[in-house]
């Protein structure tokens, strides 16, 4: 298998971190690596748990991002380091147990088939969301509908954070030019990659119900209507 690196920003995940890492390490791939990205926002034993696995396996590399400005900056820093370390493929996923390690193989299979981007979808046939209140489901589906309408995309899930890329896709993006620092990042990434060969695969989202502020929705809408004009600044 081509060298594949999983990038996962993590913070305050001590209850699930060890299990997630162990389940990924148990997958039958000899060239699959894990890059958890952590910053000073994390106050529990998450980093300690990652460092322990790092000592025991050369497949784990803990990245402490001192200059972090939040979870999205950690994603992008993880991409930079994965590319610098020779990753031919990069998978992005959550490290808190919301995304299931058992579903990683389907992303790898689609990359093997030649797809350039593989998007995890909660809303395509076979996908699901668990432990999410009705308002979050409505926001997720409504956000996808509006994004498709404004951007001309045709995806069933524009906000899932479980996805995979061929190296060339990420090499073609200027990470420092991304507009979003929050929820809109996933939509922004999908828009910039819309002309690539892409596919959606079903995922089962196991996340807890996080709060979503009105200011976040306002910011998401502002960014949504800027993406078409901003695209040329992001693509190399």
Query: Which ranges in the chain belong to alpha helices (H)?
Result: 17-25, 46-56, 71-84, 104-112, 134-151, 167-171, 185-192, 214-224, 227-234
For residue 214, what pLDDT is reported? 60
For residue 137, what pLDDT is reported? 80
How large a percentage of the chain has pLDDT more than 70?
97
Q: How many angstroms separate the Cα of 185 from the Cα of each of 14, 40, 189, 193?
A: 25, 21, 6, 12
For residue 68, what pLDDT is reported? 93
Q: Measure the CA–CA gap between 62 and 133, rounded to whole angstroms.
A: 33
For residue 212, what pLDDT is reported? 52
Q: Measure the CA–CA gap between 141 and 126, rounded to whole angstroms.
A: 16
**Mean pLDDT across 42-60:** 97
- What are the respective helix, strand and coil percentages of the chain, to the nearest 5? 40, 15, 40
Note the pTM of the prediction, 2 decimals: 0.95
Q: Measure the CA–CA gap between 49 and 180, rounded to whole angstroms.
A: 30
Per-residue confidence at 213, pLDDT binned at 50, 70, 90?
A: low
Phi/psi for 118 (5° steps) reads -125, 120
Task: Please enumerate, as own/partner, the contacts of 191-196 that have beta carbons within 8 Å and a separation of 24 or more.
Answer: 191/147, 191/151, 191/153, 191/227, 191/231, 192/231, 192/234, 192/235, 193/116, 193/117, 193/165, 193/169, 194/151, 194/152, 194/153, 196/116, 196/117, 196/169
Per-residue confidence at 210, pLDDT binned at 50, 70, 90?
A: low
């Amino acid at each position: 298998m081509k060298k594949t690196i999983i990038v996962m920003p993590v913070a305050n995940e001590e209850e699930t971190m060890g299990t997630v890492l162990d389940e990924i390490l148990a997958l039958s791939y000899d060239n699959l690596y894990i890059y958890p990205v952590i910053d000073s926002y994390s106050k529990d034993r998450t980093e300690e748990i990652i460092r322990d696995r790092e000592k025991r396996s050369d497949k784990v590399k803990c990245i402490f991002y001192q200059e972090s400005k939040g979870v999205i900056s950690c994603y992008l820093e993880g991409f930079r380091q994965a590319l610098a370390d020779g990753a031919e493929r990069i998978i992005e996923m959550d490290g808190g147990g919301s995304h299931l390690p058992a579903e990683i193989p389907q992303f790898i299979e689609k990359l093997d088939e030649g797809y350039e981007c593989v998007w995890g979808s909660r809303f395509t046939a076979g996908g699901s969301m668990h432990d999410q209140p009705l308002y979050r489901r409505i926001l997720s589906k409504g956000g996808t509908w509006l994004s498709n309408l404004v951007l001309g995309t045709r995806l069933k899930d524009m906000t899932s954070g479980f996805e995979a890329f061929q190296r060339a896709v990420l090499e073609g993006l200027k990470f420092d030019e991304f507009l979003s620092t929050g929820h809109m990042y996933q939509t922004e990434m999908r828009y910039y990659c819309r002309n690539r060969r892409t596919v959606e695969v079903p995922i089962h989202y196991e996340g807890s119900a996080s709060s979503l502020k009105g200011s976040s929705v306002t910011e998401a809408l502002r960014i949504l209507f800027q993406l078409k004009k901003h695209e040329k600044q992001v693509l190399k």
